[in-house]
């Protein structure tokens, strides 16, 4: 039975290979049709890409059936249909549409265009005739040649036919493995230790060489400031300083990204321009040092000059710009020469000979330099010496970059006085935000009491007054009015309880933040999981702020993200309470546009994120949002605080609080 099966496989393999070769030949024409259709204004480019996916899907299916290689579908899930907002509009990012057609069109277009599998499908259509078509068509070609040659009396034809039958199954398996190369989901393999070290060294070496170039750019900015001071300081110097600040700020960010040494911005905020006087002029300062300017541009230029000149960070920036070149020479010149020269010697050893020969009059190469540095070293070929020199430069690059970062932080970071000033400004603004939030909350409570419970209690009092007049004349009517007054009192009591619960929920006061968040998860209209690692309780005001922030994020995840599952994680470490809310929705939320996970629902003041930031800002808290199109959305709240009353919680799913 097994022999018969193997014989059938050998006989059918050429026919299957012929079919696969035909599939390969369909790729280029289909690619042309997709390109023309996508650019001809027909239904949608996404439509042609989705239809073109049928051919790779057929190839994956045949690879599994005929080649024994299972290939999973690599495509991202299709976006859900757009959801209509309560106001009747359909939302796509910040754009609003009356109908669902355009949001769905744009979502599917982003889906197919942003999926890496689409590019791999197109590459497969181009390359498959050259690789897969040859592999699949070799066996039927040999069999066909043999069948034609045998009747002509050529014995070699029989050998070709037998060879085609024998190689057929193997070629089908090779074809299936080739199909898997491009049409399977990419395998994610963690690089080995040696590969990680080589990659990090190469990246550090490239950044070190780039720092040498950037040191020259820094010198250009420094010289430009000196020239501006010498020519027209009031007119030119502020502009050059602001341009230098943009460059220095960019370098701060790169230094932090490359080395992990974060350097905060030390600059003072620009002071506002005073209002013009009755004659339209602008007065800056009073007394003998005050100045009057006729136009707003002159006043703005003078104010900016005074602001930059009095800011110590401007002069520290200038000192750093001048010191970049000597620091780069001391720290980076040697490794940069090793890296650049080593790679040059690795590829073209004559570069060394020509360049150094012109300077010294002698013939040099990497091996001669290495032997000159280490006389006892035996003869080393130029490529090996170049590789060793480049590896040495890359090995010391991370330490030198970090040393440069620490030196830069000493000049570019804020001074202690600047930090204290910034802290005072932050606390002042936080206090103002807290005061405004408290005033708004008091107005809300007053409005709810006036419009709700107070109105009902007034109605109860009026009803009881009417009962007092009717109780002797019409007891039945008085009894009915008493029942109505009783119902109104119960309703008013319920409204009071709801109002108190909105100020501070009882579960939050009685059981703490962990159980209060679990209660929110139990009431959420989607599957929610809560993980808590809090060895104690935080202050009551922080608990309330975090509780309402999580409530807002859960509401938006269910309302705007079309999410089916959300994860809430609370933890405390290093004096910071961190709350993470992650959903599996469609993403696309913008950090500056209110809302929450899954999309914004209020761009600007009054929106969801704005309210959360206002709550957390009073406690120096921050909100960070990551929401790429297609999801997932992750909102992270961080509030510096301490803990009290030790209590350890672990995790819970929806409706199963544990501690």
522-525-531-535 Cα dihedral, nearest 10 degrees: -50
Higher pLDDT, 98 or 596: 98
Phi-psi region of 99 (alpha: psi -120 to 50; beta: other; left: phi over 0): beta
pLDDT of residue 448: 66
CB 569, CB 534: distance < 8 Å:
no
Query: Which residue, among 316, 381, 321, has the nearest Cα to 345 in the 3D structure?
Result: 381
Range list of H helices, 535-622: 540-560, 608-617
**Lowest mean pLDDT: which of 8-17, 25-34, 72-81, 438-447?**
438-447
0.75 surpassed by pTM = no
Copy the structure tokens of residue 397.
């690059």
**Strands 527-533 and 565-573: what pairing?**
parallel
Segment 309-329 mean pLDDT: 90
pLDDT of residue 658: 40
Integer Cα distance of 602 and 277 in angstroms: 39
Q: Peptide bond preceding 591: is omega within 30 degrees of 0, i.e. cis?
A: no
Query: Which residue, among 509, 355, 644, 376, has the nearest Cα to 366 in the 3D structure?
Result: 355
Query: What's the angle, vertex CA 614, arms to CA 612 and CA 616, rounded to 5?
Result: 70
DSSP label of 288: G
Integer Cα distance of 520 and 533 in angstroms: 17
Helix axis angle, 366-373 to 333-347, nearest 10°: 140
Higher pLDDT, 290 or 297: 297
pLDDT digits (tens, 9 = 90+) for 537-581: 888 888 888 888 888 888 878 777 777 888 898 888 888 889 999
Contacts of residue 147, defined as CB under 8 A and 6 or more positions apart, other chains included, come to 157, 161
Residues in the chain: 659
pLDDT of residue 99: 85
DSSP label of 537: B
CB 585, CB 598: distance < 8 Å:
yes
**Lowest mean pLDDT: which of 261-275, 311-325, 337-351?**
337-351
As to burial, measured by CB atoms within 10 angstroms (0-12 exposed, 13-18 middle, 19+ buried), residue 111 is buried
pLDDT of residue 648: 42
**Strands 90-92 and 565-573: what pairing?**
unpaired
In the chain, what percentage of residues exceed pLDDT 90? 9
pLDDT of residue 587: 75
pLDDT of residue 601: 40
């Amino acid at each position: 039975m097994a022999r018969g099966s193997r014989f059938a496989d050998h006989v059918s393999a050429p026919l299957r290979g012929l079919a696969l070769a035909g599939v390969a030949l369909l790729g280029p024409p289909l690619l042309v049709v997709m390109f023309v259709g996508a650019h001809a204004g027909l239904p949608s480019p996404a439509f042609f890409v989705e239809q073109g996916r049928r051919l790779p899907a057929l190839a994956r299916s045949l690879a599994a059936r005929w080649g024994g290689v299972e290939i999973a579908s690599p495509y991202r899930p299709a976006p859900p249909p757009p959801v209509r907002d309560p106001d009747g509009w359909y939302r796509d990012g910040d754009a609003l549409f009356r109908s669902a057609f355009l949001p769905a069109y744009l979502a599917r277009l982003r889906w197919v265009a942003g999926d890496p599998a689409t590019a791999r499908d197109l590459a497969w259509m181009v390359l498959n005739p050259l690789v897969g078509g040859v592999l699949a068509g070799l066996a039927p070609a040999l069999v066909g040649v043999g069948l034609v040659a045998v009747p002509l009396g050529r014995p070699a034809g029989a050998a070709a036919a037998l060879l085609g039958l024998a190689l057929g199954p193997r070629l089908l398996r090779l074809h299936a493995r080739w199909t898997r190369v491009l049409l399977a989901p990419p395998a994610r393999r963690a690089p080995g230790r040696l590969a990680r070290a080589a990659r990090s060294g190469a990246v550090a070496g490239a950044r070190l060489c780039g720092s040498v170039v950037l040191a020259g750019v820094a010198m250009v900015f420094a010289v430009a400031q000196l020239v501006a001071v010498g020519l027209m300081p009031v007119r030119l110097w502020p502009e050059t300083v602001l341009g230098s600040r943009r460059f220095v700020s960019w370098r701060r960010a790169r230094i932090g990204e490359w080395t992990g040494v974060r350097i905060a911005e030390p600059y003072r905020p620009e002071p506002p321009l005073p209002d013009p006087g009755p004659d339209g002029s602008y007065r800056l300062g009073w007394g003998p040092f005050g100045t009057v300017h006729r136009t707003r541009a002159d006043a703005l230029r003078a104010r900016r000059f005074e602001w930059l000149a009095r800011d110590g960070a401007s002069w520290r920036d200038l000192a750093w710009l001048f010191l970049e070149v000597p620091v780069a020479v001391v720290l980076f010149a040697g490794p940069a020469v090793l890296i650049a020269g080593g790679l040059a010697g690795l590829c073209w050893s004559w570069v060394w000979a020509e360049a150094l020969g012109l300077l010294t009059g002698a013939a040099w190469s990497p091996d001669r330099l290495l032997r000159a540095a280490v006389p006892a070293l035996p003869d080393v070929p130029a490529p090996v010496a170049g590789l060793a020199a480049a590896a040495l430069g890359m090995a010391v690059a991370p330490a030198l970059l970090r040393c440069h970062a620490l030196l830069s932080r000493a000049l570019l970071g804020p001074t202690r006085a600047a930090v204290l000033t910034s802290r005072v400004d932050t606390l002042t603004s936080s206090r103002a935000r807290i005061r405004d939030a408290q005033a708004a909350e008091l107005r809300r409570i007053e409005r709810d009491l006036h419009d709700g419970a107070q109105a009902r209690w007034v109605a109860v009092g009026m009803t009881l007054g009417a009962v007092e007049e009717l109780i002797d004349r019409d007891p039945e009517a008085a009894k009915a009015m008493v029942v109505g007054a009783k119902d109104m009192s119960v309703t008013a009591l319920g409204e009071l309880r709801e109002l108190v619960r909105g100020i501070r929920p009882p579960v939050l006061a009685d059981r703490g933040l962990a159980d209060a968040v679990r209660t929110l998860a139990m009431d959420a209209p989607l599957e929610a999981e809560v993980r808590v690692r809090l060895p104690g309780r935080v202050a009551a005001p922080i608990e309330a702020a975090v509780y309402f922030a999580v409530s807002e994020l859960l509401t938006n995840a269910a309302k705007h993200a079309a999410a089916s599952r959300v994860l809430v994680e609370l933890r405390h470490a290093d004096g910071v309470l961190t709350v993470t809310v992650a959903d599996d929705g469609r993403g696309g939320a913008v950090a500056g546009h209110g809302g929450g996970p899954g999309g914004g629902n209020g761009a600007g003041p009054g929106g969801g994120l704005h309210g959360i930031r206002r709550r957390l800002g009073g406690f120096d808290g921050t909100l960070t949002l990551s929401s790429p199109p297609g999801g997932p959305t992750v909102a992270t709240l961080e509030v510096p605080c301490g803990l009290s009353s030790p209590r350890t919680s672990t995790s819970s799913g929806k409706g199963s609080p544990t501690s």
